[in-house]
Amino acid sequence: MSEYDFKKEKMVRLHAESFNFSVDPWQKATSPSSGGSSNNNINSNNCGSNGGVVPILPGPDSISVALKSNNFKVAIEILLHLYRVLSGSVRLDELRNFVECFCDRVVKKQSAYINQNGYLSNVDVLCCPICLGILVDPVTTMCGHSYCRKCLQKETVGKSCKRCRSAFTSVDISRAKLNVLLGAVIEKWWQKDLEAATYRSEGNMLFEAAKGEMSLSKYSQALTLRPTDHLSLGNRSHVLLTLGRSEEALADIDAAIKNCPLWAKGYFRKSSVLVSLGRYEEAFISLSLCLCLVKTGKSQDETTISSVKNEMVKVLHKIFLQAAGSLGSSTIRRLSFDHYAPYPSLKLQSGRHERDHFKMSRSGHGSEYNSSGDEITSPEREDRDDRDAPTGKILRKHNCNSEKKPSQYKMKKNSQLSGHQASHDTQIARIHRLFDRSLQEINRIYSDIDTKGKGSAEASKHVKIGRSVDSTLVSVNDLECTLCYRLLHQPVTTVCGHTYCRSCLERCLDHSPFCPLCKASLEDYLAHRRHAITQLLDIAISQFLPKEYAERVQQHLEEIDELTAIGRNSTAEIPIFVCTMAFPTVPCPLHVFEPRYRLMIRRCVESGGRRFGMCCYLQDGENNYADYGTLLEIRNVQYFADGRSVVDTVGKRRFKVLRKSQKDGYNTACIEILQDRPVVASCKPQIQKVHNQVYSEAKDWLESINQVLRQRIHTHFGPMPVPEENWMESTEGPAWTWWLLAILPLDTKAQLAILSMNSLEKRLESIQKVLRYVKTTQT
């Protein structure tokens, strides 16, 4: 055991009575009498599993045990005794553990609440999610949210977007460039805000060049243009603090926080100002709020969190030093000696230790904060107090006259000790209230976010830009797509900074993986397939051009209405994929690589219909494809980095083509859905008989073929289906007939002829003839 741990253990054991350790080593944890809900009390839920009692034993680990049981009050009391006995030589690890416990069990919990309710739900969408100021040199990430370029460059790959929690990619951080259209719109609509940002940037450069007074002038110019700019207020406050003008600095940082209450850096700077004014408790509360806001969401900066915690430790150190020194050295000694009564030798030993410690502090080897201006009791006063306490006489008098009336001297001393103990309890309660006040402030922010963010999923549909715009500056021409020359609909921004309608860009990428304007490679952009809408532009168009926006949305809905009609209308026009034969209930995987079919599949998926027609290629047919086909339903689409895809489909219904046409390069057709004629009751026995015969012959043939071939068939089409219970009432007949038709060695025209039949009996007879012919040729 080190010398420090030995002294600490001795102190805790000698003061065990004041912690109620000697009365009951399994002291029940108590809550402050302030009442309130569990969220407003740092000492709540602190009972262990042993009938509401937690183990807090005297020893070097007493503080850790108290913290693990959430008994902050006991931990505060032990720490306060350590500061009074050991003064400035208390290890900062003791406080660091205390801060870690407070942050992990209290601040972290409230941060999770804020995160769930939307940390930035009340922040203007025009603001950068990092600095919370207007976007300067805006860069749009692949999730569709925009940041200041300098702010985003400070982020690292793996961190997440502060608005949607999507993880940043290397494309977002290293390759993203200025959003050309968004930058031009902000510069035109909010010119004064950008001018203020320019003055602020100039002030930053002057401050870095150690020209404080000149930087103040620039910040003031910025605030003339934008008086509520929290960044300019915060920066000016920081400069004022370095110039020793703390009161002015506090006024500025208070105004900054008022204008932007979710700006974590503002609370950090406020704590620095408060420390300079000696208002340590307020500084600690401000740091708690800062930490809470920094820890919200997945995008956490561990370096910043560590820095905030270190500042909390330093401030807490000053608070304990103040509390320990508030009673004077005589109080410290008398409170200590009162518990040494049964151990006079230890009392004298402790007195020697304290004198040695103060000599060490005087020589500069004490606490790292001794030079901070905090008062430390002088050793001369300590010796004087020691001489004023005739401990030996008191002990002898107490032992000899234990049942007699106390002397006037002893009554006076007991009265002094009682007053000192009351002051001691007051200091513990004051520090304890400090943590309760911190939690109350954190809850206040949480409640404010929770109240404003209720129904955030619904509210997010109606997000608006907080800043007003001169209507004369708004023009449709500024927000047109350079590909279709119409108002942008679902605008997306590429990594090279150009913006298009999402549908327009996707059609271009079907043909070439390059930006249509600057020809920059978009292979990485295409590979991630995160064509998210640029949120700020979409909101700006809907808010400042509402009539034009509504018309553009209606145009888009009309364009996809034909695709959504599939399934609602039996004679609807559908897209046709000309490739191979497909059958109802049978899987049909497709490799899609042609640009026209990429467009067709994407439209089918986006429209929600997820269906298209499959017809086989016929050289002598009209438009080179057959007049009969099968509706396929898309089950899944797997994309490759170059834009190709594998589409997993399954056959649903048969159809007859009534009219053929084309759209955007791919075939379309007006169709009529086919279905089997209902089976007449008198024919059911005959059809049942034929069905059983053909099914038995099909199983026999399948068993007779080569085992390798049979395994390949099972791998591609799956096992042969068993007859359904109501196969006779099905519009498509039994599923096994289509499975068998897909694997039988028939030419396309023969398969097409059977597909077009609407008589179940004739279809079974045709399959039976094919089976018998195949068996004959095999033998």
Domain ranges of the chain: 138-323, 476-554, 569-674, 681-778
DSSP code for 722: P
pLDDT at 384 (0 to 100): 32
∠ CA 478-482-484, rounded to 5°: 110
Residue with tokens 């509360």: 285
Q: What pLDDT, in 10s, does the model give residues 365-398?
A: 333 323 233 332 333 333 333 333 333 333 333 3
Task: Please count the other Cβ atoms lying within 10 Å of the Cβ belonging to residue 377.
Answer: 20
Helix (H) / strand (E) containing 239: helix 230-242
Which parts of the chain have pLDDT scores under 70? 1-63, 65, 67-70, 87-88, 105-122, 157-158, 296-301, 326-425, 448-463, 562-572, 620-622, 779
pTM for the predicted model, two decimal places: 0.69
pLDDT at 498 (0 to 100): 95
d(CA 652, CA 165): 39
Is the Cβ–Cβ distance between 652 and 584 less than 8 Å? yes
pLDDT at 79 (0 to 100): 80
Structure token pair of residue 235: 């920066």
The yes/no answer on whether domain 569-674 falls in CATH 2.30.130.40 is: yes
DSSP code for 695: H
Query: Which residues touch 777 (CB under 8 Å, ≥6 apart)?
Result: none
Q: Exposed (0-12), middle (13-18) or buried (19+): which is 379, by Cβ within 10 Å?
A: middle
CATH class of 476-554: alpha beta
pLDDT at 19 (0 to 100): 46
pLDDT at 345 (0 to 100): 34
CATH (residue range 138-323) = 1.25.40.10
pLDDT at 609 (0 to 100): 81
